[in-house]
Structure 1
Amino acid sequence: MTDRLSRYQRLATHLAAFAALSGVCACEKHPGPMAQPLDLSYLPKHYDTLGASSQTLNYSPWYIHEWSIDGPEGSGVQGGGPNVMPVKADNKPSGGGAQTCCSDIPSAWQPDLTLTVRWLVDKKQDGKTPGYRYKAENVRIPKYRGNMGGLWAVFLPGDRVRIMMADGQKGGANDPGLRPENSDPYIAQGIADQEWNRLYRIGASKE
């Protein structure tokens, strides 16, 4: 009787140990949910910005009443600049004197930054027509090194615009003293801003 009881006790002990081992193995094969890193990629990128004075140059035959820039929503990049008369009779650009403060631009050049540029242009210049609004999207700024001379909007014939950040590099891509070549990759084509023209009730047709 004692031997039989001892065998039952040993069997029960072995079964308990096996069950415990099986439980451990099951846990190892089927681990519980693990914490996942928080995905914040959907949030807009915000840049460390600095305040830069804004100036305008105009090589086009039209009066530019105002212009503005906007970066992606939430980026903190925004601003605008003063009005400018049409190109001079000797084909030298108008502008370059008056400046406004301030445009908020990344303190360090950002290769992935694109801007939307909007401007109000008077093509009739009859003193009656308020003008038409244009915009250029996905506008990039050439690589700059610091802020030596502010932000510049350069307007060119054919409703085109070029944005630069004067960094003191004479002869470089951000030198406002040089007229951009027609092949310049940073020149952006503008189109009639239908939304803003409707908003301001000034029509949406091109001249």
Structure 2
Amino acid sequence: MVFLSIFMPSKAGAGVIKAINHTHWAINRFSVNGQSGIDIIGPYQGGGGGCCFSVPEKWQPGMTVKVDWETGVGISMDFPGYENRQRYLEWKKNIDSQKKQHSKTVPLPDYNGQDTCGITIHFLPCDEIKVTTSCWSPRNANYPIKEPLRMEEPKVCPK
């Protein structure tokens, strides 16, 4: 297994760390190989912008990336303010109880013969992820990940 360094010089190209969230949970934070993706990603949204992710000039079998992330409710509209400390602490406890930490090491898809533009993490239902280094827009037919933006969470996730 080859673990990629984020700062490895690359003739293949470097770019930002982005994400697309296909779930009803917020992605409170995420990182790729320890490098932050910066933004909170709301349900069914995209974002990110952390710098930087690069790959070696040639892809090799066994290349992987480690993605760490936290899911939760994100920004809550029922924030009580700080004036009533007891209400605030109850609200915070409820928000924190919904947060979950995740970590996965996933294969980096073959990019030989293609331009690379950083990395995009797709957060899918059942705490699954897919990654791509593609320069194509997700709206383009050539983009390699085809899952719809709004995906339903199954009642039971496969193990």
Please give the TM-score of this superposition, normalised by the length of structure 2.
Answer: 0.60
Letter in 1 for 2:134: A
- Helix, strand or coil: the match of 1:158? helix
Aligned partner of 1:79 in structure 2 is 35
Which deviations, in whole Å up to 9, do the C-alpha atoms of 1:48-93 show, x marking residues without a partner? 54432111100111000111122xxxxxxx5341320012xxxxxx
Pick the structure with more strand per residue.
Answer: 2
Q: How does 1:89-104 map to 2 (within 5 A)?
A: 94-96=45-47, 98-104=48-54
Aligned pair 1:54/2:17, yes or no? yes
Q: Deviations over 1:123-182 (max 9, x none)?
A: 586562342211112x012212222x431011111111111111349544x545x327xx
Count of residues in Structure 1 that have an aligned counterpart in Structure 2: 121
User: Quick one: which of 105, 109, 117 aligns to 2:67?
Assistant: 117
Q: Which has the higher Rg, Structure 1 or Structure 2?
A: 1
> Contact conserved, 2:3 with 2:65, CA < 8 A, in 1?
no
- The equivalent residue for 1:135 is 103
Residue 84 (structure 2) aligns with: none
Cα 1:132–1:125 change in 2 (3 A) is: farther
Structure of higher RCO (CA pairs closer than 8 Å, 6+ residues apart): 2
RMSD: 3.2
CA distance in 1, matches of 2:4, 2:63: 11
Q: Identify the residue that residue 64 of structure 1 maps to in structure 2.
A: 27
Write the distance in 2 (CA, Å) between the matches of 1:46 and 1:124: 30
SS at match of 1:114: strand
Aligned pair in 2 of structure 1 residues 143, 46: CA closer, same or farther (>3 Å)?
Answer: closer
Give the percent of matched residue pairs that are identical in Structure 1 and Structure 2.
Answer: 22
Unaligned runs of 5+ residues in structure 1 are 1-43, 71-77, 88-93, 181-188, 192-207
Structure 1 residues 110 and 52, CA gap change in structure 2 (3 angstroms):
farther
Q: What residue is the counterpart of 1:13 in the other structure?
A: none
- Cα–Cα, structure 1 residues 46 and 67, in superposed 2: closer, same or farther, change >3 Å? closer
The 1:79–1:85 alpha-carbon spacing in structure 2 relative to 1, beyond 3 Å, is same
| Gap change, CA 1:150 and 1:101, over 3 Å in 2 | same
Change (3 A) 1:134 1:141: same
Q: Which runs of 4+ in 1 moved over 3 A?
A: 44-51, 123-127, 167-172
Structure 2: unaligned runs, 5 residues or longer: 80-91, 149-156
